[in-house]
Copies of this chain bind each other. A is one copy, B any other.
Amino acid sequence: MRKVSESTVKRLSRYYRVLRLLEKEGYVTVSSKELAKIEKLTPAQVRKDLSLFGSFGTRGLGYKVLELKEKIASILGLDKTWKVALIGVGNVGSALVSYKEFAKQGFLIKLLFDNDQRKIGKNHKGIIIKDVKDLVKELKESKIEMVIIAVPADQAQKVVDQVVKAGIRTILNFAPANIKVPDQVFLRTVNMAMELEHLSFALINQI
Known: A186-B207, A201-B9, A201-B75. A196 touches B146 (CB 8 A): yes
Q: Does A198 contact B (CB under 8 A)?
A: yes
Q: Does A188 contact B (CB under 8 A)?
A: yes
Q: Does A61 contact B (CB under 8 A)?
A: no
Count A interface residues, CB 8 Å.
Answer: 58
Segment with Cβ contacts to B, from A13-21, A110-118, A133-141, A159-167: A13-21
> Distance (Å) between the CB of A49 and the closest chain B CB?
13
Contact with B along A93-126 (1 / 0, CB 8 A): 0111011011011010000000000000000000
Do the beta carbons of A13 and B188 come within 8 Å of each other? no
> Distance (Å) between the CB of A169 and the closest chain B CB?
7
CA distance A30 to B199 in the complex (A): 27
Q: Does A36 contact B (CB under 8 A)?
A: no
Which of B10, B172, B178, B207 lies in contact with A17, CB distance below 8 A? B178
Q: Which residue of B lies closest to A104 (CB)?
A: B193
Known: A18-B178, A178-B17, A178-B18. A101 touches B192 (CB 8 A): yes
Known: A91-B94, A201-B75, A202-B170. A190 touches B192 (CB 8 A): yes
Known: A172-B199, A203-B145, A203-B186. A102 touches B13 (CB 8 A): no
Q: Does A77 contact B (CB under 8 A)?
A: yes
CA distance A107 to B188 in the complex (A): 24
Q: Provide the residues of chain B in CB contact with A196, threshold 8 Å.
A: 82, 84, 102, 105, 107, 146, 172
Interface residues of A in 1-41 (CB under 8 A from B): 1, 4, 9-10, 12-14, 16-18, 21, 38
Q: Provide the residues of chain B in CB contact with A102, threshold 8 Å.
A: 192-193, 196
CA distance A76 to B1 in the complex (A): 38
